[in-house]
Structure 1
Amino acid sequence: MVQPFSASDLTGRIVDNSFFANQRLTMVNVWGTFCGPCIREIPDLAQLPAEFPATDFAILGVIADTPDAANQATARQLTGSTGVTYRNAIPDRSITTEMLANVSVVPTTFFVDRTGTLLGEVLTGSRTKAQWVSIIRGELANLPAGS
């Protein structure tokens, strides 16, 4: 279960656990502004929400190195130049001490249901759009009917 959090995203809006309730499956992608594979993966991730109904799927990016203000500017530039429309959270204390506590490499990706319950495996490393679509379809298929 993802512990309660409340953080700002790159636009200054608050994002918290209620984000998960809006869709059956949320992909949480932890990345860093210093990470080449993360940056190369962003354009593919940006295309994923269009592949699924909004009631089924969303992405929440968590930028591991953005408590630093300079990195926030870099993250804004990277997401802006790659067509990202999904939200990207700047880790607060609860995200850093709970959600990121066991993250030792970026990108790290995990999936949660609408209650914030962790699903499947925690995945490390980048993937292509086609690989992510296949993984997401599998995760959606594994969700109980009516969830």
Structure 2
Amino acid sequence: MTARKLAVTLSAILLAASLPAAAAEAPQNFAVLDTPAALPEISFADAAGQPKTLAGYAGKVVLLNVWATWCGPCRKEMPTLDRLQAKLGGPDFEVVALSMDRKGPDAVRKFFAETDVTHLAPNIDTSAQAMFTLGAVGLPMTLLIDRQGKEIGRLIGPAEWDAPDMVDFIRARIAAK
């Protein structure tokens, strides 16, 4: 390696090391916005039928997953979201799994029991209005939302949410207060 190549390589390494944690590269298919964008108001209910909105999560980084029990890819990815919530969930981060099931909370509770999902709270929009309001072109659709309630980015389709690159990416967003 020539002295010039070595200098360029070392410069690149030093530059990468000096970047903030929030600069962690987005996993494949995760579309990150240049500037966080305001989200439209959506409403849904918890398992007890109590009304909820995204405003109730202000101050937290939220991973909003719009899904349904009848969606094959959704069923496959839900356990990975559960493991992500177990790993990172707390005062600074929450996975909000928002079901579009018209059959309501019983269908979601049954699905959670069948798939051993224990760390996610059931949230339901039986009207499926949230899906349309958020511009979902299909399910699953997942939005990463900052502490101010603005969309950082989204992923259309399933993902392995507990994969190391995904966990690192989300950790960086949590750390980017």
1:125 to 143, 149, 157: 157
Structure 2: which 5+ runs fail to align? 1-37
Task: Give matches, 1:29-40, under 5 Å.
Answer: 29-40=65-76
Cα deviation for residue 22 of structure 1 reads 4.5
1:9-52: CA deviation from partner (whole Å, max 9, x where unpaired): 223233212332152x1101111121111112111211112212
> How large is the RMSD of aligned CA atoms in angstroms?
2.5
Q: Name the CA distance, whole Å, in 2 between partners of 1:46 and 1:139.
A: 14
Name the structure 2 match of 1:79: 112
CA contact (8 A) 1:29 1:60 kept: yes
* CA shift in 2, pair 1:56/1:136, >3 Å: farther
Contact 2:143-2:155 at 8 Å conserved across structures: yes
Q: TM-score, normalised by structure 2?
A: 0.65
Q: 1:19–1:137: structure 2 CA closer, same or farther, 3 Å change rule?
A: farther
Contact residue 20 and residue 113 of structure 1 kept, 8 A: no
Unaligned runs of 5+ residues in structure 1 are: none
Amino acid at match of 1:134: D
2:94 counterpart (40, 53, 58) = 58
* TM-score computed with the length of structure 1 as normaliser: 0.76
Alignment length (residue pairs): 138
Report the structure number with the largest CA radius of gyration. 2
Aligned equivalents of 1:93 and 1:57: distance in 2?
A: 24
